Amino acid sequence: MPASKEVSGFEALFKVAKIYQKKVKAAGNGAVVVVANEKGGIGKSTITALMAAALAEVGLKVLVIDLDPQSSVTQMLLPNLEKLPSPAIGDLLTSDFDGDNAIFPADVIQEVPAGTVYNSDALGHLFLLPSNPQLGKLNNYLATNINGRQILKFLVKELVIENKALLNDYDLILIDTPSQLDSIFAESALIAGDMVVMPTTPRPVDQWAIAQTIQKIKEAKKVANRSLEIVAAVVNMYDPRSGMVENEGLEAVKAALGDRVVEPPIRSLKTISNSPAKSTSLLTATQAQRPADDFRQTITEVMSRILNRFEQNGSKGGR
C-alpha cells in the first residue's frame, strides 16, 4: 500500500465509503451528484477528478460524466490524448435509441487506465463518460428539442439496457458541469442529479456566484427536480497566510451557505494545480502527504453528507 494511504484521511474515507456502499447495495442504485458553480476558474473540474480518484481508491465504483464542452475532466482522466474521444457525451444526447445507428452508454464510457495521475492503482473502479468540443455545438439543438433538458436524466436513470439502468452499474455518478449554469448542459445536470456539491473559493470576486448558483438550483427544483439540494460546499484555493481578506472571504462563504460548508477547506497549493502537468498526483505524491490527508478528510465529510442525503431520500438515489 502506498505510503500516502497510511494516513487518517484514507482510513476515515474508507470507513464512510464502505457504509455508503452497503446502502447502495441494499437500494440497488447509487446517487447522482452534480458538481456545480456559476463561476469558472475555481478548480471545479480538478476537484471532480480528485474526488472521483479518492473514492475509487477506497473501492467505490465511480462514473464521471463530463458535461463541459471544454472537456477538462476528460483531459485529466484520459492523459496523453492526441485528440479528444469520439463518440462522446454529445453523441449520446442526440442518439436515436430505436434506430439502427443507435449509440448507447456502453459505446462511449471508458475505464480510466491505471498508472495515470488520477488513477494510480484503482483498476476497475474509475470510469469516464467523456466530452469533446463538439458538445458545445449542441446547445441550441437541445434547447429547442422538446425533451432536451430531460435527455441526461433519461440516459442516467431511465434508459434500461439488459434489465438495468446506467445508475445501477455504479456506486456513485459525478457530473462535472460548465460554468454558466444557464447553459442547457448545466440545466440538464441539475434535472438529472440527486444532490449538488458546490466548490467555491474565499475570494471576494467569487462571492456573487454563490447566490447565482443557489438561484439556479431553486429554479431546477421548481420545474423538474423538487428534491435537489446542495449537500456540501467545498472551499477551494484557501491560503491562510494571505491575511484578513482571505479569512473574511471564508467567513462570507459560511454566512451564505451555513452548515453546508465542509471542513477543512482545500488549501491553495501548487501541488494540486501542477500535478497533471508533472505527472504526479496530490493523492499519491509522497511530498504531498499532508495536503493529501487534508483533501481526503474534506471528501470524507462530503461523502458523509452524501450518505445522509441518500438515506433521507429513502435510499432511492432520487429516482
**Per-residue confidence (pLDDT) for residue 58, from 0 to 100:** 93
Q: Which domain holds residue 117?
A: 3-312
Question: In this structure, is residue 25 part of a structural domain?
Answer: yes
Are 234 and 302 contacting, i.e. CB atoms less than 8 angstroms apart? yes
> How many domains does one find in the chain?
1
What's the CA gap between 113 and 111, in Å, rounded? 6
Query: Which of residues 154 and 315 earns the better pLDDT score?
Result: 154
* SS3 of the chain: helix, strand, coil, percent, to 5: 50, 15, 35
Question: In this structure, is residue 187 part of a structural domain?
Answer: yes
Question: In this structure, is residue 102 part of a structural domain?
Answer: yes
Question: Which class for 100: exposed (0-12), middle (13-18), buried (19 or more C-beta within 10 A)?
Answer: exposed
Give every CB contact of residue 44 below 8 A, 6+ residues apart in sequence: 35, 36, 37, 176, 177, 179, 199
What's the CA gap between 47 and 53, in Å, rounded? 10
In this prediction, residues 32-56 reach a mean pLDDT of: 92
**Per-residue confidence (pLDDT) for residue 317, from 0 to 100:** 43
Question: In this structure, is residue 239 part of a structural domain?
Answer: yes
Cell for 63? 462514473
What's the CA gap between 145 and 65, in Å, rounded? 21
Q: Please state the pTM of the whole predicted model.
A: 0.91
DSSP strand E in 177-299: where?
195-200, 230-235
Question: In this structure, is residue 319 part of a structural domain?
Answer: no
Q: Return the closest-CA partner of residue 75 out of 83, 305, 94.
A: 83
Q: What is the CATH number of the domain that holds 71?
A: 3.40.50.300
Q: What is the mean pLDDT of the chain?
A: 86
pLDDT of 274 above 60: no
**Per-residue confidence (pLDDT) for residue 124, from 0 to 100:** 85
Number of residues written out for the chain? 319
Only one residue has cell 434489465, namely 163
Question: In this structure, is residue 317 part of a structural domain?
Answer: no
In this prediction, residues 98-125 reach a mean pLDDT of: 84
What's the CA gap between 61 and 170, in Å, rounded? 5
- Give 110's strand partners: 128
How confident is the model over 230-247, as pLDDT tens digits? 999 999 988 777 666 677
Q: If you ran DSSP here, which 8-state letter would residue 168 be given?
A: G
**Per-residue confidence (pLDDT) for residue 220, from 0 to 100:** 93
In this prediction, residues 203-224 reach a mean pLDDT of: 89
What's the CA gap between 219 and 191, in Å, rounded? 10
Residue 49 amino acid letter: A
pLDDT of 119 above 60: yes
**Per-residue confidence (pLDDT) for residue 56, from 0 to 100:** 94
Residue 241 amino acid letter: R
Q: Return the closest-CA partner of residue 93 out of 187, 170, 216.
A: 187
